[in-house]
């Protein structure tokens, strides 16, 4: 599609390309997916996502002007009628939402809604106290794989956010699920997601820095004092290993317990996560930094595992599904399933 093509033509081409996938998703009770992936489909920085009856439009490089927004709204009103549109301009620093909504538009954006994925229900809102949607759609392939792996297994979900992976695992038949996140507000959404579904078990939700949780579960231990400084309070956890560990860290975060840095120091996360994984178990790692290349990252994981005294017996890449196309077969989100 040429750069001069009208936006509606780009949206139509993207929708047509997704027809086989959408038929499959609808058949399995999924109504949450990406409709337009602008970085590949003709307008970098623009994304259009469906979450149930919500159409979430977001622009990350520059604001979407009024004419283009009207064109987009008119296209989807015809192609997918009945969806409520919410537009978030996230072109400001740190992807903060910059466009103010008022009156009816704000009410629509703040309305609680429910989206479905592979028969699992999730709470969503066009806007809330945070910035990111409550369900990351590019992780669907990973959640799908977790649901295949989970029956009869235990699962530890690290950097759980709103606990989508943990809820999916519980729904699929996991025997024990633990979700760990430092944000109490995110865990609160996760708890509501658990209540929304008929789960055969009750997942556990731990409000904790992931480093403190991993060190205790792995048996390394988290002291209350480090180099003469008292650590912030953290829940006490007994050592325990899990059949499946899902490690989905943010790009960068810093706390008194450690630094998350997906570019420079992934091994700081890998070692304790690996030690939380039972022998013969599965560790699923993600890295969402586009400039980190897949093979060098995998080499780093393998070397770090060797240093930790664990062997990676098998590696499998979990690729995003077809609503997240890649022009070079190198999607920014990398998900590695490691048998250890």
pLDDT one-digit tens code per residue, 155-171: 999 999 999 999 999 99
pTM over 0.85: yes
Residue 14 makes CB contacts below 8 A (sequence gap 6+) with 35, 36, 37, 41
Residue 151 makes CB contacts below 8 A (sequence gap 6+) with 172, 173, 174
| Helix, strand, coil tally for the chain in percent (to 5) | 35, 25, 40
The ranges of the chain annotated as CATH 3.30.750.80 are 7-111
Q: What per-residue confidence (pLDDT) applies to 4?
A: 63
Domain 7-111 in CATH 3.30.750.80: yes
| Residues 325, 264 contacting (CB under 8 angstroms) | no
Instruction: Identify the segments of the chain with pLDDT beneath 70.
Output: 1-4
d(CA 294, CA 160): 23
Query: Candidates 3.40.50.720, 3.90.1640.10, 1.10.260.30, 3.40.50.150; correct CATH number of 137-339?
Result: 3.40.50.150
d(CA 202, CA 191): 10
Angle at 243 between CA 204 and CA 136, to 5 degrees: 60
Q: Is 292 exposed, middle or buried (0-12, 13-18, 19+ CB in 10 A)?
A: middle
The ranges of the chain annotated as CATH 3.40.50.150 are 137-339
Q: What per-residue confidence (pLDDT) applies to 5?
A: 77
E strands, the chain, are 32-37, 46-51, 54-59, 84-89, 113-117, 120-124, 154-158, 176-181, 204-207, 225-226, 229-230, 242-247, 252-254, 259-261, 277-287, 314-317, 334-339
Q: Which two tokens stand for residue 42?
A: 């003709």
Sheet holding 46-51, edge to edge: 32-37, 46-51, 54-59, 84-89
Residue 124: strand, helix, or coil: strand
């Amino acid at each position: 599609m040429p750069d001069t093509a009208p936006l509606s033509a780009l949206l139509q081409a993207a929708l047509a390309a997704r027809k086989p996938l959408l038929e499959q998703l609808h058949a399995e009770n999924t109504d949450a997916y990406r409709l337009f992936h602008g970085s590949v489909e003709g307008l970098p920085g623009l994304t259009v996502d469906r979450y149930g009856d919500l159409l979430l439009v977001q622009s990350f490089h520059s604001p979407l002007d009024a004419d283009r927004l009207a064109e987009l709204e008119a296209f989807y009103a015809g192609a997918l009628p009945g969806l409520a549109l919410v537009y978030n301009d996230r072109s400001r620093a740190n992807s903060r939402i910059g466009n103010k909504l008022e009156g009816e538009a704000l009410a629509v954006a703040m309305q609680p809604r429910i989206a479905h994925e592979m028969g699992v229900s999730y709470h969503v809102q066009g806007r809330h106290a945070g910035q990111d949607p409550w369900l990351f759609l590019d992780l669907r392939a990973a959640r799908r794989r977790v649901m295949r792996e989970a029956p009869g297994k235990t699962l530890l979900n690290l950097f759980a956010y709103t606990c989508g992976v943990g809820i999916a695992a519980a729904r699929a038949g996991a025997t024990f699920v633990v979700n760990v996140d430092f944000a109490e507000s995110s865990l609160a959404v996760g708890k509501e997601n658990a209540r929304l579904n008929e789960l055969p078990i009750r997942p556990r939700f731990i409000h904790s820095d992931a480093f403190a949780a991993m060190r205790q579960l792995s048996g390394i231990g988290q002291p209350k004092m480090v180099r003469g400084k008292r650590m912030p309070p953290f829940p006490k956890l007994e050592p325990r290993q899990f059949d499946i560990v899902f490690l989905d860290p943010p790009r960068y975060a810093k706390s008194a317990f450690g630094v998350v840095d997906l570019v420079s120091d992934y091994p700081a996360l890998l070692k304790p996560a690996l030690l939380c994984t039972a022998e013969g178990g599965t560790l699923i790692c993600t890295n969402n930094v586009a400039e980190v290349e897949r093979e060098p990252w995998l080499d780093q994981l393998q070397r770090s595992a060797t240093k930790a005294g664990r062997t990676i017996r098998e590696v499998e890449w979990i690729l995003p599904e077809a609503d997240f196309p890649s022009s070079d077969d190198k999607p920014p989100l990398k998900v590695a399933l490691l048998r250890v």
